[in-house]
Amino acid sequence: MLNKEELIRYNRQIILPDFGIEGQEKLKSSSVLVIGAGGLGIPNLSYLAAAGVGRIGLVEFDEISLSNLQRQVMYKTNQAGESKGKSAVKMIQELNPNVSVDYFETRLDAENALEIIGDFDLVVDGSDNLPTRYLVNDACVLLGKTLVYAAVFRYEGQVSVFNAQRKDGSRGPNYRDLFPTPPPPEMVPSCNEGGVFGALTGIIGAMQANEAIKLLAGLGIRLDGRLFLFDSQYFTARFLNIKSNTENPVSGDHPTITELIDYEAFCGLSEVENEADEITVQELHQMIKSGNAPFILDVREPYEYAISNLNGLNIPLSNLENEIGQLPQNETTVIHCKSGQRSLKALEFLKKEGFSKIKNLKGGILAWQKEIDHSMEIY
């Protein structure tokens, strides 16, 4: 039952045709898990809390950085370095004290996903990487949960509803029906490399929240079996129909995935195969202090190098093939980027080109700032 304060708070929603008291009470008795409090997560958390969803769960482990503020508009400049999750929880509580919040300050993985997701009615995925998307999808299918999906890159965004329960008891298509296997890592540049239009995350995140609220309140026509594609640069939109695949490894006629797997390895993002090809920031620091500094290759973009660097040679990964002649063949070379993924691609390329004295800096600039130089600017 709604109390007097809630009747006033949700008045503009309650008077909507097809919504009413019944729809509001459905929201109040519902629970939603939001994965991430970033560009997509923030509009979801804001609108779900404002709409009166009774219980919101949040999975988030990251800290606020200055580079987040271009699109993650809930955070403030003076909060850089603080916990995203704790800030988001505070925002929800201040926005609507009627909403209870469960905060999971952890990275979602195959060990904890089923336990965390299993306690909620609906899941909203605001993650920004392929391993988490496949992980969340598979967990939702195994648990029989509906998933509201979205993704953004540069000027384009997409939204859909996966694994939705239909009137006949069957489930709609899921993420693996749309993307059966992940593309090669080199074909999926991150937002660090490709960028993202700030306002787009608000648009797409709000669309996600719109679908979640409709699902919980039993309203309208949902994006089950359809993928909505939006181009913010040219303001165009289109729909793609998605059909269930009988060969889907998690939901097909003969599923081969009956438990959660190693999604980093599945997406080709596992650690270096040979530990001898890797060096830690502590090891590199000791080499520099002892006067045995190696040649350092920074494969980030020039604007990243301008923010913070280790005084290495800056050749962006995309230019490495054309500028390979600048690298010493017979000198120990340490390659780094922001987190270690682009430098791993560079390592693999250079090994094929005959370079043998090369190592990947584990964790990249992020690890250096965390373990060696806390004053270094992080973006």
Phi, psi of 63 (to 5 degrees): -110, 155
d(CA 168, CA 190): 39
Structure tokens at 275: 């530990």
- Active-site entry in 123, 250, 337, 350: 337
Q: What is the pLDDT of residues 43-90, one digit of tens each?
A: 999 999 999 999 999 999 999 988 899 999 999 999 988 999 999 999
For 3, residues 6+ apart whose C-beta sits below 8 A from its C-beta are none
Residue 154 has pLDDT above 80, yes or no: yes
Alpha-carbon distances of 124 from 44, 272, 292, rounded to whole Å:
8, 32, 49
Please provide the CATH number assigned to the domain covering 275-372: 3.40.250.10
The pLDDT value given to residue 72: 95
> pLDDT value at position 265?
83
What band does 324 get if pLDDT is binned at 50, 70 and 90?
very high
For residue 347, the model assigns a pLDDT of 94
* Known catalytic membership, residue 337: yes
Q: Is 191 a catalytic residue?
A: yes
- Catalytic one of 66, 80, 110, 191: 191
pLDDT in tens, 241-297: 999 999 999 999 999 999 999 998 888 765 555 667 899 999 999 999 999 999 999
% of the chain surpassing 70 pLDDT: 96
Q: Report the CATH number of the 4-267 domain.
A: 3.40.50.720
Q: Side by side, which strands form the sheet with 100-104?
A: 100-104, 55-59, 31-35, 122-125, 146-153, 156-162, 226-231, 236-241
In this prediction the pTM is 0.83
Band (pLDDT 50/70/90 cuts) for residue 379 is confident
| Per-chain mean pLDDT for the chain | 93
330 band by pLDDT with thresholds 50, 70 and 90: confident
Query: What pLDDT was estimated at residue 272?
Result: 53
Domain boundaries defined on the chain? 4-267, 275-372
Average pLDDT of span 287-309: 94
Once rounded to an integer, what is the mean pLDDT over residues 119-137? 96
